[in-house]
Every structure is written in structure tokens, then in C-alpha cells.
Structure 1
Amino acid sequence: IHCLSFVAQECSPGGHQFLRSPYRSVHFDSMHLQHSPFQDLICDHSLSPGWYRFLIFDRPAEMPTKCVEVNHCGTQAPIWLSLRDSETLPSPGEIKQLTACATWKFLFSAAKDCCLFQIPVFVRNCGNFFVYLLQPTQGCMGYCAQAISDAKLHPCHPDEVEIGGHCVRQLSASLPPPPPGRPEVVVELMGSRLFCRCAFEASPTNTSVGFLITWSRLSSQEIKEELKQETTVQESSLLELDGINLRLGDRIFCSASVFLLEKPHVQSLAIESQEFFAGIKLHPELSTIAEDGKEYQLKIESTVPVICSASSELGQECKISLKLKTVDQVILFWGIYDFKMSLKKIIRIPFVESKLSS
């Protein structure tokens, strides 16, 4: 028997919270809640980020690892844990970053999409139960749970492993490396091509580490779409702003986590960058300009370099064009009518800052 020198804080009684609703069961039909005036569907968009453990009627439960049908688990879009071909749940004492999927079926469609939305989830094996590092969902979705069968239940402590029917204390588990500093997205011009760079700083360690970098952007429905995932030993990653994967007007994010090269499953938490808008901004974004003879100043800012063609080197000025539209409203005394007159002007503004006079 060996003594354990490290017990994960999230495995301790105060290191996690409980999700106890029996409606989260994979066997519960959510239509019962939709037809009930007293109960609401489970929506985890307001869930506080943190470590959670599932219980169903005070019975230990785990996230299912197979696709769950829509309108189950007390919600319309149930979330389950997807294990890819080479992925497994963490062994006792281990922590892994896995992918959770939300099932959805489009209206008038006979087929369902088992993984329409993806959410990163950290899973820690505490010996006789799992805890999950969960984050709030983008919309009304709910994390699912499945009661553990009697065959899987055993009386071992979180710092023990069951071997041959006996609980044996395990050797100290590998500590996950510290997470990196918050990544930052910047744009760089390389030749005639534009690239977004995800750059961050990692804390010095005594072991060799690598980095898992994930690129994503917000869709028009405010849902994060994963664009690219890369493992590297460099503290940065590049993604081309090519008009296909990344486009002007995109709201871009990148996240980075650290893993041990000798034990890739031992990973730090993933840290996400702030939103980066790739395009042209107007400051102030909303402004009313009155026809009062005064001068008004608007600032045009581009977060990406403006690539000028070869003709600009021959004396032609490099510019961007903006279309301004004015609407006049006339009110008559004997009735109220709207008379709209549209005046479109193309104003060429040098790429720095411009002053527009009324």
C-alpha cells in the first residue's frame, strides 16, 4: 500500500457542487415539462462555471458517452460526452479535456444531429466518481446524467483505486501544469497575406510541455464555431484571414492550454482570449449629426492592415470607401406624413482619421 501525496482539490467535499435534478436523467422525457405549467425546461445558460458532480435521486451519476435523443434530460437539446475513436475517460487520479456535444433536430427534419454544438469539458476521475468542469451553455441546453450501475459502485476513497476487488492507495498523480497567460489575438501582414496570431506566455516548468490551441468565431446566432485545433510547442499559432475560414467582420477567439509532452492527457485549464473584431469600426458607433453648421468628427478605425495595390505606388492614393445615407422627415400641419428622401454619397476617406462636416 502506497500513500497518496496529492489529492485533487475538486475531489474533496468542498471542491465541487452537485447537480441533483432527477430530470437530467437520459431516460426522462422532456415533453412532460413542456406540457406542465409548474415546471420549466432545464437551461444551463445561467450555470456558474465550476466543478460539478451528478446525482439522480441521491444516486451517483455520470455524463452519458452515447448520443442522447432530443427532448430528454429535462431539456430540448441534451448535452452528452463525446469520446472520439482514440479517446477514453480518465483513469483514477487523471484529468482530461474532452468534448461535450448537444443533440438537436431541425424543424421538419427526420434526422437528428448528435453533435451540432460542441463544448469543451474537463473530467477528473476521483476514484469512485467523476467530477466535471462545466461552463454555461450558449443557449437553452442541459447537461445529461446517467445513474451508475451497481456493478460500477465500489467503496473506495477518492485517493484509492480498486484492484482485484481491493482498494489500493495510488502513487502521487501527475500535477497538471499551470495554465498559460491570457492569449491575445493580433493581426500580422506577411507578404501580401493577412494572418491572425494567437500569442500567450507560459510559466516556466521543470518538464517538457506542449500547447493545445483552439480557434473559434461567433456565428450570426451568437454561437461559437470551432475553426481549427492545433498542438504545438510554440507559444503562438497562426490562422490566415483568407476570406473563407476567417473573414472581415468576424468576431474571433482563441484558447490555449498546456499539457505534458510525456503525458499528453495531463493538461491545464484552457484560457480564452478576449474577442477580436476583424474589420472596420466607427467611433462613436452610433451618432446623430444635426444640420446646425457645426463640425462633427467621426473616427474610422481598421483592426486589420489595409493592403494597397501596386497602383498606389504610382501616385494613386490608397483609400477605403464608405457609403453614407441620410433620411429627411417632414411633418405637415394638417396631418402627419413621412416623406423620406434618400441621398447616397460616396465619400473617400484616407486610411487614418477623417473629419466630416455637416
Structure 2
Amino acid sequence: LKIAILVLISALGMLIWFLECHPGGHRILKSPYRSVDFDSSHLQQSAIQDLICDHSLTAGWYRFMIFDKPAEMPSKCVEMNHCGTQAPVWLYLRERESMPQPGEIKQLTACATWQFFFSTSRDCCLFRIPVSVRNCGDFFVYLLQPTQGCMGYCAEAVAYAKPQTCGPGGVEIQGIYSSKLAPSSSASVSPPLPATPEVVAEWIKGSIYLRCTFGIPSANSSVGFIVAWSRLSPEGIKEELKRETAVHTFSLLELDGINLKVGDRVYCSSSTFLLEKPNIKSSPVESEEFFAGIKIYPETYSISEDGKEYRLAIESRIPIPCPEFGQLENDCKISLTLNTVDQVPCEEQVL
């Protein structure tokens, strides 16, 4: 009887381990914003709703992925405003502490990095959060709980994989079996074309920005983007204003009056590249022309003194700045002066 009880207890222990490591026993955190290399300041300026705040995270077991690739919690201090959040959370390993061996579980501590506005130095471990870590052999799962405030658990891509034979001509990497491909076959894989970029103007924290949004029509998320902004010169030549590499599906360009001015005709193009093979790129896809100014329809009008009413449509393609604490309607307006051909000023029209 005692032997049977011991066997049952052992079997239950193995069952619990299996449940945590089984796909149904844990959830996956796969937002690319969680990467230690991602600068969260972009989100705070333009997409605050996408900022990662794990105070609403459901307590439970989780595995990290970045672009469908295995990832783990970093064990070194992460700078503020990274990992898609303000206060990044990383795994703190004390002296003589280590990650659990295959099948083991350990109770460890996670730390949140923070820096007060009046301080010149950061605190890598201002907040401490208990975290349990289970080694499932090919990957780790983490028992996480909701954080205090806008903190986010960080992830970094696994820099290695342990191939194991799984049959003639095949390998297993991170639990996935596949056949060995010849170098020529893998080199022929090309990234998908991005969707046609769209440009709109936005008012963000007291400044006007142009936002270029794009994406990929397929479900393949293992790609990055190369974004290029350009404008049309008076001579009709496209001049490049900005070029950047991004993992998120948007890019911002400020209408600063220097590099980009009111009245400029702007274009945004995007191409994709494979994250595991950055030298393999798609062809660029360009947006339609965006006029960053005020348009009048029709652009020319012949007006006769015949007593008839003539109407002009005026459209602003960019936001009209208004004082933050303006109280009167006149605080938010633009004024246009209508002149005749012989340059004799007519009555000023206020819109």
C-alpha cells in the first residue's frame, strides 16, 4: 500500500509538471514590444494605448515569445522606458542563484527598474516581485502575478538552440521537428510585401506629426520593416527626409517647420525583411502623395461681377493648433486673405 501511495504521489508530481509545460498549461506573452531592445518612448509619444502595463495581467504560468521565436526573461538590469513599458521588470539572480535545471522549479525574484524625476541615477530594483520559474527542458515557464502600476515583464530572444536528432534527415529545435533544408532552399525564401502605407496627420503632445501606418497582409510576424520618408522638391525630385528600421507597424515624422514644412508633398515607403536573415528584403511599397497643408477647391476660379454666388471649399489636411486653455472661439482659427489678380486686398475672411 505504501509503495502504491508513493507511486501515486510521484505520478501526480509528474502530471503537474506536465500540465505547466504543456501548451494548455501556460499562456504565451508574445508582444514584440516586450523585447529588451524596444524603446518604449515611441509608444508614450504616439500610441499610449499600446503601452504594456501588467497590472491587469491574470496570475498564472506564462512563456515568452518574440516574433514566434523562443524568449526568456532577462537576468540583467534593463533601462527604463524599454520592453514596451515605463518600468521594465527583469529576473534578479542573487549571488550563487541560478536558473532551475530541467524539470526543476525555483522561487526567484523579479525587479522593476525606475528613476525618479529629481534623481540622476536609476534604481534597478526599486520594486520586487516574487516569480516562480519552471524548466520544461526546451524552454522556461514563469508563474507571474499582476504588477503595481505601469510595469511590464521583459523578454529577450534566446540566442541559442539545442538541435537533437528526431529521425533521418531531421532536427528538433525548441520542440519543433523539421527536415534539414539545403542552403539554397532557405536562401530562396523572401519576406512578404507590406500593405500599402497610409499617411495621416496627428496632434501629439503639442506638435503636429505625420503617421505612416503599414503592415503585412499575411500572418507572418517574423519580419521587420524599413521605412523611408521623402518629399517632393520644387523641381519635382523626391528628397529623402528620414529612414528607420522598425518592428512596429507605424512611423512618425514631425512637422517641425525645418525638415518638414506646411505645404510639403510627402511620401512614405515601407519594405520588409526577415528577422533571422536581415539581408533578405522585399521590394518597397510607397504610399500615395500626402499634402501637408491647406487645400482650396477648386484651385483656380474665374469670378465675374455678375451677382452670382461663388463657393470655395477649404480643407486642412493637418490639425489646426489651438491653445490648451483657450476660452473663446477666436482662440482656435486660421485667417485667410483673399486678393484680386491686380493684388488689391479685399475684405479679410476669418474661417
Q: Which has the higher helix share?
A: 2
**Which category describes the TM-score, using the shorter chain as reference length?**
0.3 to 0.5
TM superposition score normalised by structure 2: 0.45
